[in-house]
Structure 1
Amino acid sequence: MSADFVDALVAGQPMGADFVIRLLGDVRVSHGASWYEVPEGSKRLLAFVALHRGRMGRGHAAATLWPDAADSRAAGNLRSALWRLNQAIVELIEVDRHHLAFRPGVLVDIDLVTSWAGRMVTGRPMPDDLLVLPTHGLLFDLLPGWYDDWVLTERERVRLRVLHGMEAMTRHLVKAGRCAEAVEVALAAAGAEPLRESAQQSLLEAHLAEGNWVEGHRSLDTYRRLLARELGVEPHPRLAELLGSYPRARTSPITDRDRASSINILS
């Protein structure tokens, strides 16, 4: 589950890690084994500060969060949201007359996840990065149901970063000989974005690394039919070339039984 995955990333942080702002699925706060519900009237403020990071002007935050209110009214709304947040949870946001920012030590789940993905993509994963698999769809659910511009942009950034990280993790797992787990991660990436060709290629490579040519053929056949139905196009030739280059492809042609078993809910 994504909570397990994020918890593993939190556990790998240097000593002194404090509260963790959770934006995947819903706005919540955790501190060790304790969880805190964020007041509804403070969720937008907490999410805004978490997504924008660093120190920001109080006037900018108030005007963005309450764009239809007069400046004085927006400033009052900001003070109320801060007060409710501080009543529910120990002070997370430090405030002076003109600025606000998280206090030192506060972590944000999407920062941990995107940093993990960055390490995967650059080929520099830490030892613990490969211990827990990011296979839960909630990793793509940044503030679901929120449609503010400042949320939509960040949601797309996180989605793409996680997909890149999962595809890179698949390759790291294959290289480590953990092919079954590589298939799991690749399936999660392809399930999140079924039309994404790089995810399908990662899945195909994982199947072949595991020695399952027929599974690779099934996944490519499923992808081919999905592309034809949704976009009217064929997969890039490199996928068929990858499958055809596998030694077993020259000695074990696909049978009618294999073709029948490859039909699934996408057909």
Structure 2
Amino acid sequence: MIQEKDIDLITRFFDLALSDDELKELEQRLLNDVEFREKLETYKEANHIVNEHYLDDDKQAKTDKWKAILKTDKTIKSTKKTNWKWIGAIAAGFALLFSFWVLNNTLQEPDINKLLANAWDKKIGLNQNITRSASKDSIKDKITMAFKTYNKKDYQSTIHQVSNYKTGTLYYEDVLLLRGLSYYKKNKIDIALKTLDTLSNYHTGKKSKVANWYQGLIYLEQGNTKAASKFLKLPNYNIKELQLLEH
């Protein structure tokens, strides 16, 4: 049960009236005390509802509605009168609260599935507009077509189109990339990873980072975070998207 002093701490927090020591105390409570954090969140939501829906009411009516919202099983029975200025300071309080949560890792963990989906959607290294010179009806056209079939999710056709290229062939890095990713989309994970590893270590190094990026995504999507961490900066409370690890 939250004590009277906790209500006072929350009230003066939104009133922007805490000392440095009290701010540190509140910071620790947010980090370590789940009930305290939930109660602060309840106060925050109650104030939001009151201010959003009862802007034209007089102060006492708004206060009564605000108190009614807070009447839950865990609500503290207190005779202390609510500080109306606290409600008036809600916007500044939200910003300050958010900064504390970021600092102390109390935000929700990132949604890995969403981050992976966003990472794949970027289609890094999959630009079919190849600019290197090549004559018409040459390898360039075939590789361009392979990019198109890959983007259309016709992975078997892509594999077929890039199946006869050998080391040293023009656009061979693109061949390895398309081959590796297409095999992965066909659920041939081992072949995909081996192909991308070959691309990562290819002597030109032109698409090594691209290969590392997709190896990381594949390992992470397969749930192997240890292997993924060799290629990617894994998301946490402060990193909101997947990032390539610089080697």
Normalising by structure 2, what TM-score?
Answer: 0.26
Tell me the TM-score normalised to structure 1 length: 0.24
Higher strand share: 1
Larger radius of gyration: 2
